[in-house]
Structure 1
Amino acid sequence: MLIVLSPAKTLDYESQPKVPARTTPEWIAESEKLVELLKKKTPKQIQTLMGVSDNLAELNHGRYQDWQLPMPEAASRPAVLAFKGDVYLGLQADRLTEKQLQYAQDHLRILSGLYGVLRPLDAMLAYRLEMGTALKTRRGKDLYVFWGTRITQSINEQLAASHSRYLLNLASNEYFRSIQKKSVQAEIIAPVFKDQSNGKYRVISYFAKKARGTMASWVIRNKVKTPAKLVKFAEDGYRYDSESSTESAPVFLRG
């Protein structure tokens, strides 16, 4: 089972984790092309492009001006430990053992607007570039066009290398759109997490994001390979609901 996650806007470049040797992102040459475009933009242009505040525009302008290859080791860190948003609060990658991180290296992929696809131990520099950003390149109007079939190609290659028959989609719709679903050489499983609110079960964004990370961690720690095992997920009070589930969209309820 190969897992895909979204990245996060919140980053952690302060702590000093001990991890196995870092690896290099597969599409780093493509990332460099995007950075060269972004380096030419003013903070105001970045603000308009990304729809962020003045401070965030200045911050990311500086990040792109400083971006370089090869990556300075002191300024980079493994992707799975760099992201600190809701999903990664659930993933708790800093609590994974070295063996579990190595397993994740083969069974987890992080989709990225700048890097395309990241393995957990791929080194990355701090950035912000959401997949839905309408950054025009020679290839077309946005990042979906820029990445084209490359992300799907990477996913299929890793599905084959890890002998995975299932792609566990724990990414957001924005990021999963970067994968051509009809070309994926595996069955796609997309879990749904619902919490009780005012007597009804519904998807609550924060809790659902964290649950995706929690499930990813659980799959890694238990080396889950099939949907039949996936339904046993019962972390943080969630339980599998057979009545509302389908084979491709298992539903987990809490409350």
Structure 2
Amino acid sequence: MQIMIGSAKEMRLECSYILREKTLPLFHDEAFANAMQMTAYGEDELREMLKCNAGIASENRLRYMRFAEPCNELQAILAYNGVVYKHIHTENFTLDDFKYAGSHLWITSFLYGLLRPLDMIKCYRLEGDIVLSNNGCSMFDYWKPILTDMFIESVKNDDGVLLDLASNEMHKLFDWRKVKREITVVRPEFLVCKCGKLKTVVIYSKMCRGEMTGFVIKNRICDVGALRGFTYEGFNYLPQKSTLTSPVFVLE
């Protein structure tokens, strides 16, 4: 079973522990070319493009201007520092856990396309709907023909099952209809019971996606049915609302 999670806007340059194992992103050249295009924009343009404040725009302009420098890189699974990643708990990983993740976990990225956990990356910020002049299309449409078939093939080369723990937005990086036709996509739901109704609470969903990622990696889960054993802070499997490809976990 392969796992897919999305990248995070929050990133870091350093980690409290050193991981010596590292790999080169599959689409390093494409990412570099796109980053170089981003250097053409000033802070005001970046603020609008990235839908951010002036401070973040300034920070990311500097990041892109320094992108060609041979330093300031970190493994992707450590570099991203959003809620999902904090709840993977890589600080508890063994070297074997990292190696297992390296062959079972995909990270989607608007700049890098698809990443493996040990791929060395730089800090950046990019949105999927940004249109770069040399590309002539959004980052979604730029990556779609590049990623779709290779991603399907990678999942087929495992057992043909994808555990989809990314946000819906990340599906736009692929021809998702083709992905769902050719492989089995398992997409868990994490719901909270409020006033007798089941609702999605974004922060809890992100926490659970990270926790489930760590659960699958550390326990070497390869059977979809074994996902039913996942629990986190009161979230438990709810069989009457679940199907094999849409397991539901509820906090009551």
Q: Which TM class, normalised by the smaller chain length?
A: over 0.9
Which is worse superposed, 239-248 or 38-47?
239-248
* 1:213 matched residue in structure 2: 210
Q: How many residues are matched?
A: 250
Alignment partners' CA distance in 2, 1:230 and 1:140: 42
Q: RMSD of the alignment, in Å?
A: 1.6
Alignment partners' CA distance in 1, 2:129 and 2:61: 15
SS of equivalent to 1:141: coil
User: Which of the numbers 153, 157, 161 marks the counterpart of 1:157?
Assistant: 153
SS of equivalent to 1:111: strand
User: Which of the numbers 149, 174, 197 marks the counterpart of 2:194?
Assistant: 197
Alignment partners' CA distance in 2, 1:234 and 1:15: 28
Alignment partners' CA distance in 1, 2:133 and 2:100: 35
Pair 1:239-2:236 in alignment: yes
Using the TM superposition, give the Cα deviation of residue 51 of structure 1 relative to its aligned residue in structure 2, in angstroms. Answer: 0.9
Using the TM superposition, give the Cα deviation of residue 84 of structure 1 relative to its aligned residue in structure 2, in angstroms. Answer: 1.1
TM-score by length of 1: 0.92
What is the one-letter code of the residue matched to 1:47?
A: R
Alignment partners' CA distance in 2, 1:230 and 1:179: 25
Pair 1:147-2:139 in alignment: no
Alignment partners' CA distance in 2, 1:226 and 1:165: 12
Structure 1 contact 244–251 (Cα < 8 Å) conserved: yes
Instruction: Tell me the alpha carbon deviations over residues 164-183 of structure 1, each in whole angstroms, 9 at most, x when there is no partner.
Output: 22101000011122122233
SS of equivalent to 1:188: strand
Structure 1 contact 191–252 (Cα < 8 Å) conserved: yes
What is the one-letter code of the residue matched to 1:147?
A: W
Structure 1 contact 139–145 (Cα < 8 Å) conserved: no
User: What is the correspondence of 1:11-160 to structure 2 with a 5 Å cutoff?
Assistant: 11-68=11-68, 71-72=70-71, 75-130=72-127, 132-160=128-156
User: Which of the numbers 162, 179, 182 marks the counterpart of 1:167?
Assistant: 162
Using the TM superposition, give the Cα deviation of residue 186 of structure 1 relative to its aligned residue in structure 2, in angstroms. Answer: 1.8
User: Which of the numbers 175, 178, 182 marks the counterpart of 2:173?
Assistant: 178
- Residues 1:32 and 1:190: Cα distance change in structure 2 (over 3 Å): same
Which is worse superposed, 149-158 or 239-248?
149-158
Pair 1:254-2:239 in alignment: no
SS of equivalent to 1:101: helix
Instruction: Tell me the alpha carbon deviations over residues 190-248 of structure 1, each in whole angstroms, 9 at most, x when there is no partner.
Output: 10001223443211000101100100110111111122111221233211111111222
Alignment partners' CA distance in 2, 1:186 and 1:148: 17
Alignment partners' CA distance in 1, 2:20 and 2:152: 25
Alignment partners' CA distance in 2, 1:237 and 1:216: 17
Alignment partners' CA distance in 2, 1:181 and 1:97: 33
SS of equivalent to 1:210: helix
Using the TM superposition, give the Cα deviation of residue 142 of structure 1 relative to its aligned residue in structure 2, in angstroms. Answer: 0.5
Q: List 4+ stretches of structure 1 deviating above 4 A.
A: none
Instruction: Tell me the alpha carbon deviations over residues 56-114 of structure 1, each in whole angstroms, 9 at most, x when there is no partner.
Output: 00000000000016x42xx1100001111111121112221110000000000100000
Identical pairs, percent: 28
Structure 1 contact 47–57 (Cα < 8 Å) conserved: yes
Structure 2 contact 11–82 (Cα < 8 Å) conserved: yes
Alignment partners' CA distance in 1, 2:249 and 2:222: 18
Structure 2 residues not aligned, in runs of 5+:
none
